[in-house]
Amino acid sequence: MKTFIFERSELDRLVEILKRRDYKVIGPIVRDSAIIYDELTNINDLPIGWTDEQTNGMYRLKNRDDAAVFGWTVGPQSWKKFLFPPIQKIFATHKSPKGLDLQNSKKQTSQESAQTKYAFFGVRPCDLNAISIQDKVFLGGPFIDPVYERKRTGNFIVTVNCGQAGGTCFCASMGTGPKAGTGFDLSLTEVLNDKHHYFIVEVGTELGSDVLKSIKCIKATDENLTTVNEICSKTVKQMGRLLDTSNLKSILYQNSEHPRWERTAARCLTCANCTMVCPTCFCATIEDVTDLAGKQADRMRKWDSCFTLDFSYIHGGSVRASAKARYRQWMTHKLASWVDQFGTFGCVGCGRCITWCPVGIDITEEARAIRENQS
Partner 1 sequence: MSPKNNKIPKTAVKKQRKPKLAVWKFSSCDGCQLSLLDCEDELLAITEHIEIANFLEASREVVKGPYDISLVEGSITTPHDAERIHQVRRQSKVLVTIGACATAGGIQALRNFKDVKQFIVAVYANPKYIETLNKSTPIADHVFVDFELRGCPINKHQLIEVINAYLNGRKPNTPAYAVCIECKRRFITCELVAHGPTCLGPVTQAGCNALCPSYSRGCFGCYGPKETPNTSALSTYWTSLGVKDDELVRLFRGFNAYAEAFRKESEAHEK
Cα–Cα distance measured from residue 131 to residue 195, given in angstroms and rounded to the nearest whole number? 36
Residue 278 DSSP one-character state: -
Determine phi and psi for 38, rounding to 5 degrees.
Answer: -155, 180
Report the nearest approach of partner 1 to the CB of residue 57 (Å).
Answer: 6
Q: Which of 119, 212, 277, 350 binds partner 1 (CB under 8 A)?
A: 277
Candidates 303, 327, 330, 338; binder of partner 1 (CB under 8 A) is 303
> What track of x and - describes contact with partner 1 for positions 333 through 352 (by CB under 8 A)?
--------------------
Residue 62 touching partner 1 (CB under 8 A) = no
Q: Is residue 276 within the footprint of partner 1 (CB under 8 A)?
A: yes
d(CA 80, CA 148): 9
Q: Does 59 bind partner 1 (CB under 8 A)?
A: yes
**Binding residue for partner 1 (CB under 8 A) from 20, 63, 65, 292?**
292
Q: Could you tell me whether strands 156-160 and 186-192 are parallel, antiparallel, or unpaired per DSSP bridges?
A: parallel
Q: Does 148 contact partner 1 by CB under 8 A?
A: no
Pairing of strands 197-203, 58-63: unpaired
Is residue 63 near partner 1 by the rule CB under 8 A?
no
Nearest distance, CB of residue 267 and partner 1, angstroms: 5
Residues near partner 1 (CB under 8 A), total: 49
Of the residues 273, 280, 332, 364, which one makes contact with partner 1 according to CB under 8 A: 273
> Which position among 33, 104, 221, 373 is part of the footprint of partner 1 (CB under 8 A)?
33
CA 57 vs. chain centroid, Å, equals 18
Render 170-191 in DSSP notation, one character per residue.
-HHHHT--SS--SS-SEEEEEE
Residues 352 and 368: their CA atoms lie apart, in Å, by 18
- Is the Cα dihedral 68, 73, 77, 81 positive or negative? positive
CB of 101 or CB of 340, closer to partner 1 = 101
CA-to-CA separations, 88 to 57, 92, 160, 281, 304, in angstroms, rounded: 29, 11, 30, 16, 12
Site for partner 1, rule CB under 8 A = 31-34, 36, 57-61, 75-77, 81, 86-87, 266-273, 276-277, 287-294, 302-305, 307-310, 321, 323, 355-356, 358-360
